[in-house]
Chain A
């Protein structure tokens, strides 16, 4: 514990680096996945292409993607953007699936009714489909958030500052307090992100009661396994 207080500025700096590395992929991944997931839920061709491409990308271990992205994009190997792009790909792999499920679960009758009362396709999307898809989207983004925060630690080992640096130096000098501090810090960041997301969820989808929440979580959990 003493070590933590003495080195708090360093841990705090790495925590900020870690947030800088893991927050953009969560946000970008979510924003990109909404239209793609919607498209997947509407078109069989789009669905099979998007889901298979991203499930192949998801198969690649993080370390592989972290070192392949700079080569594919022509970035410097130590550019933090590599990790951000790689983590965004993982985020999209999970999120497109969830969004596909989320929009797919909006019943056809509801969509027809929206059309019948005169909603344009855009209105229908924003006023009917998106709100109804909300609970499943929320469950999906929470899974994305937790796994992104945890995966970003690998960045520390390839020379991109993150809380993973604590694992690297702690391992080199066989120093447990530093390792534990790293693990706990990652868990705290993940917990804070999760609180923010569930808070946003409460704000934006206040009708999301326990039962729908649980069903949504279960739906996403199954997707992640399969």
Chain B
């Protein structure tokens, strides 16, 4: 446990924040990590969300979405990373082989975002969308005013998984030479400097937790008021409460 305290001390030592000829500084690594995550996340969302909405709204290509997310779970991200980094040529003018890394991060980020966008729309009752059509909404209105708000929680859930996936893959990318917060873990392991390694691990963990925390808050606020939180929360609580609300007198069996 001492090592963890030393890891914190390592982080708070100002000398470790600037890059010198012998060691990587935290500031630069942090900025790299954020930039890579941000760009990849943006591209992922731009590609996967419209596609997921299309699949969820039309019901077409559902199989593709399911298969892609299953395959993505099975393919080791590290393996895909090594193959594509070697396969994609370095483009002059783009620093640090960025393009190759970003392509990989986007490829790995797409499946959870796609699944979230599609599952969010799919979770909306058919009767609800049909009712929306019946009152004269256009398909676009059905999508933007009914399906997206009602599916919002799952959609943001997909964004959360994608964000974590990308943060984690950027970290692993350090094994292949890309500078990020993972660099400290990799260097620390190589040099037997476990304080640095733990310091890096704490930084990555903090970044993942903060980003996930922010998105968890977003997830809470995107659900329209007075809408039950949909199918994610159908634990016993929701079930029990609904029972209580609809049929008074039904014994509440929770806690037996």
Binding site for B on A (CB under 8 A): 41-44, 47, 56, 59-64, 67-68, 71-72, 77, 100-101, 104, 108, 111-112, 143, 146-147, 149-151, 153-154, 156-159, 163-164, 167-168, 170-171, 174, 176, 179-180, 182-183, 186-187, 190-191, 221-226
Complex Cα distance A60/B204, Å?
A: 8
Q: Is the CB of B253 within 8 A of A108?
A: yes
The A-contacting residues of B in range 151-193, CB under 8 angstroms, are: 153-154, 157-158, 161, 164, 167-168, 171-172, 175-176, 182, 185, 188-189
Indicate if the CB atoms of A63 and B172 lie closer than 8 Å.
yes
A187 x B75 contact (CB < 8 A): yes
* Least Cβ–Cβ distance between A83 and chain B, in angstroms: 13
Contact (Cβ within 8 A) A71 B3: yes
Q: A67-B189, A179-B82 are in contact. List 18 more A-B contacts (CB 8 A).
A: A61-B167, A61-B168, A61-B205, A67-B185, A111-B253, A150-B74, A153-B79, A157-B78, A164-B78, A171-B82, A171-B86, A183-B80, A186-B79, A187-B75, A221-B115, A222-B154, A225-B154, A226-B157
Q: Answer whether residue B256 sits at the interface, using C-beta atoms and an 8 A cutoff.
A: yes
Query: Are B185 and A180 in contact (CB-based, < 8 A)?
Result: no
Q: A67-B189, A167-B82, A222-B154 are in contact. Are A104 and B235 (CB under 8 A)?
A: yes
Known: A43-B255, A143-B73, A147-B73. A59 touches B208 (CB 8 A): yes
Closest to A171 in B: B82
User: Which residues of B sit under 8 angstroms from A151, Cβ to Cβ?
Assistant: 76
Q: Give 1 or 0 for each of B213-256: 1 = CB within 8 Å of chain A CB.
A: 00000000000000000011011110100000000000101111
Q: Are B167 and A104 in contact (CB under 8 A)?
A: no
Contact residue range for chain B? 35 or more
- Is there an interface contact between B201 and A183, defined as CB atoms closer than 8 Å? no
State the CA gap A223–B38 with chains docked (Å). 25
Report whether A186 and B189 are in contact in the complex, using a CB–CB cutoff of 8 Å.
no
Complex interface: chain A residues within 8 A of B239 (CB): 104
- Find A168's partner among B77, B175, B208 (CB 8 Å cutoff): B175
Asked if A111 and B75 sit within 8 Å, CB to CB, the answer is: no
Please provide the chain B residues from 97 to 150 with a CB less than 8 Å away from any CB of chain A in the complex. 112, 115-116, 119, 123
A225–B254 touching, CB < 8 Å: no
14 contacts between A and B (CB under 8 A): A44-B255, A59-B208, A59-B209, A61-B168, A61-B205, A64-B205, A71-B194, A112-B253, A143-B73, A146-B70, A179-B82, A179-B86, A186-B79, A221-B69
Most buried by A among B74, B119, B189: B74
Q: Given A104-B236, A226-B153, do A146 and B204 touch, yes or no (CB 8 Å)?
A: no
Inter-chain contacts of B43 with A (CB < 8 A)? none
Could you say which residues of chain B place their CB within 8 Å of the CB of A170? 82
In the complex, the answer to whether A159 meets B189 with C-beta atoms within 8 Å is yes
Known: A59-B164, A225-B115. A71 touches B4 (CB 8 A): yes
User: What residue in chain B is nearest A164 (Cβ atoms)?
Assistant: B78
- Which single residue of chain B is at the shortest CB-CB distance from A170? B82
- Chain B proximity of A171: nearest CB distance (Å): 4
